[in-house]
Amino acid sequence: MGKLFLLIARRYASARVQEKLSKGALSEARAGEEARRARERADDAENQLTRAELLRRSLEGDNQRLKLALSDKENESQASCSFRLTCQSL
């Protein structure tokens, strides 16, 4: 009877250890999955930031080109007015 009790106790203890190992493995797998998802979100955020920065730079370039074109048109217009005024006074 004592041997049977020891056998049952060992099996129970072994089952408890296996259960704890399984729970630990499951927890570890969940943590790994959460870490993977967090890395994916961080990568997505970084990609979105990069796209926004490229768009900002593109818009700044467009803005500079428009300012230059406006300045050229203003200078051209002033030169044209100056020429007409000079011609009218002759």
Angle among Cα 36, 39, 44 to the nearest 5 degrees reads: 125
In a domain, 70, yes or no: yes
Residues 45-74: tens digit of each pLDDT: 999 999 999 999 999 999 999 999 999 999
Dist. CA 25–CA 27, nearest whole Å: 5
Task: Say what the pTM is.
Answer: 0.56
Lowest pLDDT segment from 23-32, 39-48, 59-68? 23-32
- With residue 41 as reference, give the H or E element that holds it: helix 2-89
Residue span of the structural domain in which 27 resides: 13-90
In a domain, 35, yes or no: yes
Query: How many independent structural domains does the chain possess?
Result: 1
Angle among Cα 27, 31, 36 to the nearest 5 degrees reads: 150
